Structure 1
Amino acid sequence: MSMRRAIRDNGLSLFFLALFVLALVGQSIAGFFRNNSELADHGMATIGFGEFVTSSGFLVDVAENWQSEFLQFFLFIAATVWLVQRGSPESKKPGDGGPGSDEDQRIGAHARGDSPRWARLGGWRTVVYGNSLLIVMGAVFVLSWLAQSLGGVVVMNEENSMHGAPAITWLDYVVSADFWDRTLQNWQSEFLAVGTMVAFSIYLRQRGSAESKPVGVPHHVSALESD
């Protein structure tokens, strides 16, 4: 496979990977200067870039965004198994809720010759593979949430130390108002974004996008029903 074809065939993934890297680098640079500005304002010594990007403060900022994003997709993937929204290309058509039959899913005896191996084997491996997207999204969410909470308690205790307050435990932190204020700020924005995408896509179109129905399809018809 030529390099040009590889880029063309994976353009969507590569595009968002590039945006992710650029945004993360930009965040680290902006956060580095902001952090050192705050340290200087308090008469404290500034730190190097390497020390900043390995600090608990930077970990918290990154992890709290990651966990909200993966929670969003975890819930959306799980919800769309059973719940439908008539007319939305983000949903199956009404009446099709549920995991589907083995024939519909092309697993076990109904698998094709070129189906993934675990889809053809049956048993626990097919069960795991059939839920692998949800499992991985959920695992990344849990790990990101854990990283956020562990980094957050370190930052909180550093601030407490500067103000002469006692240190707190991880459990104290994860039930604190500070932790849930930061967490729920991200969650509510993600839920709003997904909900509006589902609703707006019933009535609005973007010609050529896989996330939109064809322009001339009626509002009440889903993309799957339009074929």
Structure 2
Amino acid sequence: MGQANKQHSFLYRNGLGLLFVALFIITLGAQAVTGWYEHNSELEQEQAAAITFLSYLQTGHFISATFENFESEFLQMALYVILTVGLRQQGSAESKSLDEPEEVDREPKPGPDAPWPVRKGGFVLKLYENSLSLVFGILFIISWGLHLYGSWVDHNEQQVLLGKAKDSIGDYLLQANFWFETFQNWQSEFLSIASIVILTIFLRQKGSPESKPVDAPNSETGK
């Protein structure tokens, strides 16, 4: 396996991850720039002074918009990882088999090539067995908190521009605006999961690990 890896370039071995990291950086930058222009346009309408780009990155407008999206993505992945452990969808490429044992369910065995937590065993191994869902869950909580903070700061900035009193974060949490922002993102993530789970029953993409083989029957579950 090691020799096979050495025959491929770094870009070939890491192309998928590198591409998505690059796309993330590009689109985050585009969001920041366009959000800056939009925010300054809003300030101009309220006859307030425009702000610099660096100042914009510290505003509730940018923080809220950014972590509102992060939050929903991490929630999606956390639920997807956890729920696919026990739930099934007949015919879906995204489901474990209805009856057959799966490699992911086997008990970990220590070995020279096994990750360190597997060799260590005990509580460390138990954490490692659930580390993917735990990290996604922690990232979701952090992103949710930053979304709330950014949305609250942006709300109070708007309150000041309108000559109104600021709200405490507790009061803001009880208002509809924050939850409207939250649920409009959550529902889109649940729809995307339902789409890939159900559509992979009937549709195919040759060469993709997210699809069943093209000639697999619709009733076949798993890849």
TM-score scaled by length of structure 1 = 0.90
Distance 1:83 1:96 in 2: 14
The verdict on how the C-alpha distance between 1:122 and 1:99 changes in structure 2, with shifts beyond 3 A counting, is farther
Q: What pairs up with 1:154-165 in 2 under 5 angstroms?
A: 154-165=153-164
1:1-227 to 2 correspondence within 5 Å? 5-95=9-99, 104-105=106-107, 107=108, 110-224=109-223
- Consecutive unaligned residues in structure 1, runs of 5 or more: none
Is the Cα contact below 8 Å between 1:88 and 1:202 reproduced in 2? yes
RCO higher in structure (CA 8 A, sep ≥6): 2
Identity %: 38
- CA offsets 1:19-40 (integer angstroms, 9 cap, x no match): 1011001111111111112222
What is the CA-CA distance between 1:144 and the residue it aligns to? 0.4
SS of residue in 2 equivalent to 1:7: helix
Q: Greater shift after overlay, 112-121 or 190-199?
A: 112-121
| RMSD (Å), alpha carbons | 2.0
- C-alpha displacement of 1:183: 0.4
**CA distance, structure 2, for counterparts of residue 41 and residue 97 of structure 1:** 62
Equivalents in 2 of 1:111, 1:25: separation in Å? 44
* Contact 1:86-1:220 at 8 Å conserved across structures: yes
Q: Is the 8 A contact 1:82 1:98 kept in 2?
A: no
Distance across 1 between alignment mates of 2:74 and 2:19: 19
Partner Cα separation in structure 2 for residue 70 and residue 96 of structure 1: 30
Answer whether contact 1:90 1:211 (CA < 8 A) is retained. yes
Cα distance in structure 2, aligned partners of 1:87 and 1:190: 21
TM-score, length-scaled by structure 2: 0.91
State the one-letter code of the partner of 1:10: N
TM-superposed deviation, 1:152: 1.3
Amino acid at match of 2:111: R
Q: Distance in 1 between matches of 2:17 and 2:171?
A: 39
1:80-133 residue CA offsets vs partner (Å, 9 max, x unmatched): 0100111111110113699975xx14x2xx333311010122211010000000
CA displacement, residues 30-89 of structure 1 (integer Å, 9 cap, x when unaligned) = 111111122222222111111112222101000000000000000011100100111111
Measure, in 2, the Cα distance between the counterparts of 1:54 and 1:156: 14
Residue 10 of structure 1 aligns to a residue whose secondary structure is helix
CA contact (8 A) 2:204 2:212 kept: yes
Distance 1:85 1:143 in 2: 31
Q: CA shift at 1:161, angstroms?
A: 2.0
